[in-house]
Structure 1
């Protein structure tokens, strides 16, 4: 599918960008330590420390995002645990309003996530977001996490796009830096990825307070293009 368009392609991350990161924080930092302690009959402190060490070892790798990998590592069915708590999955404020605006104004809308395919599938079903996107891709599908240039190369091979004619919104600095290295200049982050944590004071990329803050940015770019 060719996705070149007069309108720039808008590429979104999912967790912490379109969806409230509070769900993922709850799964990995609260619920999994409880389940791990119950299964392995250790103290909550031992469980938390063991999992923290696992997380540090695999952070920002493709394994980090794989429910199958974590199930094999910790002995807890991580995917089943996530689905059990799917009612906690929540869209960030302004998510639908922004996607509706982009759809109405015929922007190509892509979703590029590090969530594995199984996790992606149940979140899309729970939120009903799939219909908004022209392209949906998981890093598991291409074999590289978004933190690495190979992801962007693989994405371009599957779905050609012009990095100079797109916007990318993600809550993770290392991912944004990777996208910048690939040639994407219009990069934005999220000031408050989790509703249960305080907003960021500073970041190395422009931050959106609300997702709908992207709308006037796009409108201004359209006006400037008219007079170029």
Structure 2
């Protein structure tokens, strides 16, 4: 279990960590290939293969998360397509009680997301999850993603957190590995980022499927 007395700052990912990843998975794996197929007049199977190759080419880089990049690459109205399925955007059921408990205990709560600012704005607009947080940071303002060590150095410099007294929560194992390499002392992995998908088995990090099991927080 986490020793909350040794944690002052909690850095939180957004998609899959605070919000259900189903929206993003459905958007990038179904909506975008369908729109790409229609735009290029190719089959869904061809579109999915092309899109998958494009995703792999920039995986872990800021471009993967950049809506401007994909709009240019695919010639598609990315935000317009997102808004068409915005009803799927939802906060994880276990998040409100968890964040309220963290806030009541005096922890500093910071969102650190690779999401593009436009995507972040849409999700805040739909859910108002930002009301629990002290700061919201998109890595796009730095031009690199959380997979980069340079990003971690810059974020710590700007936010001033003590990495020995910081908890970082994310559903991405490569991102957690980058945080570990940087020296974040407390790491927590999410095993069920997408409510429509099976829970993941994670051995390398302390993990959670329901934040309420971590309560109470002192």
2:173 aligned with 1:176, yes or no? no
3-state SS of 1:143 partner: coil
Match of 1:223 in 2: none
- 1:34, 1:44 within 8 Å by CA — same for their partners in 2? yes
How far did residue 7 of structure 1 move?
A: 5.4
Query: So what's the TM-score if we normalise by structure 2?
Result: 0.94
Structure possessing the higher relative contact order (Cα contacts under 8 Å, 6 or more residues apart): 2
Match of 1:49 in 2: 49
Separation in 1, partners of 2:93, 2:195 = 10
Match of 2:125 in 1: 125
Point out where structure 1 has 5 or more consecutive residues left out of the alignment: 1-5, 220-228
Match of 1:26 in 2: 26
How far did residue 16 of structure 1 move?
A: 0.6
Separation in 2, partners of 1:189, 1:208 = 6
- 2:94, 2:210 within 8 Å by CA — same for their partners in 1? yes
- 1:68, 1:79 within 8 Å by CA — same for their partners in 2? no
Match of 1:150 in 2: 150
Separation in 2, partners of 1:69, 1:51 = 13
How far did residue 204 of structure 1 move?
A: 1.7
How far did residue 211 of structure 1 move?
A: 1.8
With 169-178 and 196-205 compared, the bigger mean Cα shift is at 196-205
Match of 1:198 in 2: 198
Separation in 1, partners of 2:203, 2:34 = 32
How far did residue 93 of structure 1 move?
A: 1.8
Separation in 2, partners of 1:213, 1:18 = 15
Point out where structure 2 has 5 or more consecutive residues left out of the alignment: 1-5
- 1:66, 1:116 within 8 Å by CA — same for their partners in 2? yes
Match of 2:97 in 1: 97
How far did residue 153 of structure 1 move?
A: 1.0
Match of 1:185 in 2: 185
- 1:191, 1:200 within 8 Å by CA — same for their partners in 2? yes
How far did residue 142 of structure 1 move?
A: 1.5
3-state SS of 2:215 partner: helix
Match of 1:13 in 2: 13
3-state SS of 1:10 partner: strand
- Give the RMSD, CA atoms, in angstroms: 1.5
Separation in 2, partners of 1:101, 1:152 = 26
3-state SS of 1:49 partner: helix
Separation in 1, partners of 2:57, 2:200 = 25
**Equivalent residues in 2 for 1:50-129 (5 A)?**
50-129=50-129
3-state SS of 1:153 partner: helix
- Structure 1 segments, 4+ long, off by >4 Å, are none
